[in-house]
């Protein structure tokens, strides 16, 4: 039987509607709305496209939205001063610096300059530490892992006691999602294994996963025979495998594939995310959720 397709677009819309309602309530009750500043350096087309989508979503939700488009040759000192300006701005609850930054700027120096209480991307070491501690310590969950957890929970997949295998150990996906799902709380309580390029038998680990989360960035890495029948497969990978002309716009667009052989895997798994349309739409949504949470914390 074919797997249930976990529709990231629909779940994302559901969460955005909830956020919109909370924003209306905040406005009515406290005359305040979440404030988000997006800081973009230069004109890298991919970064510009990501930031544009974030700005559009923030505007649609009725956020106070500020854009800082900096020239590519902005000095590190000037960029740090800009971050500090928004650290002190009470109308701003979230600061997003779009990565990557130009070579003459130290990414970490800029990210670490953000007030941890406005770090809605969840990349500041203070928030990474809070995530590791868990419970009440947690302030902001990083957006892609938060989106993955939300997809699993809202699809009704049992996490408690589940064997979760995470392929990939990056700081933005693999490590945080592994940490989040092993926490002692109702949205986690899983038994988590993290595998990577030095893992001896990748297939054997994947085969025992009740929930398989793949974030390697290698198209088709996970073979159908590695998937446990009836399991939940979350494919985080986004790989450009070619180009095509869009029937809608006539423009050239990228052909994207995940890290899992979707067509074959969906005949074995119990549920699976597509690429695109699975984890991808959740990332911006969780950024908005973090900005809302930051605003509520101020109120």
200 binding ligand NAP? (CB under 6 A): no
Count residues binding ligand NAP (CB under 6 A): 24
Catalytic-role residue among 121, 210, 259, 261: 121
Interface residue with ligand NAP among 19, 96, 280, 289 (CB under 6 A) is 280
**Residue 196: what are its φ and ψ, rounded to 5°?**
-155, -165
Distances (CA, A) of 188 to 46, 149, 156, 171: 33, 8, 12, 19
How far is the C-alpha of 134 from the C-alpha of 181, rounded, in Å? 10
Contact code string over 178-197 relative to ligand NAP, x by CB under 6 A: ------------------xx
198 binding ligand NAP? (CB under 6 A): yes
Determine whether 261 is an active site residue. no
51 binding ligand NAP? (CB under 6 A): no
How far is the C-alpha of 251 from the C-alpha of 253, rounded, in Å? 6
**Given the complex with ligand NAP, which of 221 and 292 has the nearer CB atom?**
221
Nearest CA to 188 among 167, 157, 212? 157
Residue range at the interface with ligand NAP (CB under 6 A); choices 78-86, 180-188, 232-240, 248-256: 232-240
- Enter the tokens of residue 119: 């770090």
47 binding ligand NAP? (CB under 6 A): no
Determine whether 54 is an active site residue. yes
145 binding ligand NAP? (CB under 6 A): no
Q: How many CB atoms lie within 10 A of CB 109?
A: 13
Query: Is residue 128 a contact partner of residue 108, using CB atoms and an 8 Å limit?
Result: no
Interface residue with ligand NAP among 26, 82, 120, 279 (CB under 6 A) is 279
Nearest CA to 215 among 241, 196, 192? 196
How far is the C-alpha of 8 from the C-alpha of 202, rounded, in Å? 27
Determine whether 235 is an active site residue. no
169 binding ligand NAP? (CB under 6 A): yes
Widest CA span of the chain, in angstroms? 58
**Given the complex with ligand NAP, which of 168 and 270 has the nearer CB atom?**
168
User: How is residue 254 annotated by DSSP?
Assistant: E
Minimum separation from the CB atom of position 31 to ligand NAP (A): 34
How far is the C-alpha of 80 from the C-alpha of 108, rounded, in Å? 11
166 binding ligand NAP? (CB under 6 A): no
How far is the C-alpha of 148 from the C-alpha of 279, rounded, in Å? 6
Interface residue with ligand NAP among 44, 87, 155, 170 (CB under 6 A) is 170
- Enter the tokens of residue 94: 């979230």
Minimum separation from the CB atom of position 187 to ligand NAP (A): 19
How far is the C-alpha of 140 from the C-alpha of 216, rounded, in Å? 24
User: How is residue 228 annotated by DSSP?
Assistant: P
- Enter the tokens of residue 221: 């890495």
Contact code string over 236-275 relative to ligand NAP, x by CB under 6 A: xxxx------------------------------------
- Enter the tokens of residue 163: 């064997």
Interface residue with ligand NAP among 181, 188, 190, 215 (CB under 6 A) is 215
Catalytic-role residue among 54, 175, 266, 289: 54
Interface residue with ligand NAP among 168, 176, 270, 274 (CB under 6 A) is 168
Interface positions with ligand NAP (CB under 6 A): 144, 167-170, 172-174, 196-198, 202, 215-218, 221, 236-239, 279-280, 283
Instruction: Please give the positions annotated as active site.
Output: 54, 98, 121
């Amino acid at each position: 039987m074919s797997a249930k397709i976990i529709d990231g677009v629909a779940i994302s819309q559901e969460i955005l509607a909830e956020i919109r309602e909370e924003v209306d309530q905040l406005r009515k009750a406290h005359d305040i709305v979440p404030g988000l500043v997006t800081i973009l350096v230069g004109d890298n087309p991919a970064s510009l496209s990501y930031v544009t989508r974030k700005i559009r979503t923030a505007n649609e939700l009725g956020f106070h939205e500020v854009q800082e488009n900096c020239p590519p040759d902005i000095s590190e000192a000037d960029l740090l001063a800009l971050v500090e300006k928004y650290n002190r701005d009470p109308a701003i609850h979230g600061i997003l610096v779009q990565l990557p930054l130009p070579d003459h700027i130290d990414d970490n120096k800029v990210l670490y300059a953000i007030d941890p209480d406005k770090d809605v991307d969840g990349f500041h070491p203070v928030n990474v530490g809070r995530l590791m501690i868990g419970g009440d310590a947690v302030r902001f969950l990083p957006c892609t892992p938060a989106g993955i957890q939300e997809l699993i929970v809202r699809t009704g997949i049992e996490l408690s006691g589940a064997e979760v295998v995470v392929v990939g150990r990056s700081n933005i996906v693999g490590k945080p999602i592994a940490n989040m799902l092993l926490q002692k709380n109702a949205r986690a309580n899983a038994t988590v294994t993290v595998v990577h390029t030095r893992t001896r038998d990748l297939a054997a680990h994947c085969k025992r996963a009740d929930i398989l989360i793949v974030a390697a960035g290698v198209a088709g890495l996970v073979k159908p025979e590695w998937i446990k029948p009836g399991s939940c497969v979350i494919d985080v990978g986004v790989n450009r495998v070619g180009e095509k002309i869009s029937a809608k716009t006539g423009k050239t667009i990228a052909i994207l594939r995940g890290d899992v052989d979707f067509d074959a895997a969906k005949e074995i798994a119990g549920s699976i995310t597509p690429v695109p349309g699975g984890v991808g739409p959740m990332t911006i949504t969780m950024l908005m959720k973090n900005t809302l949470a930051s605003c509520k914390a101020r109120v």
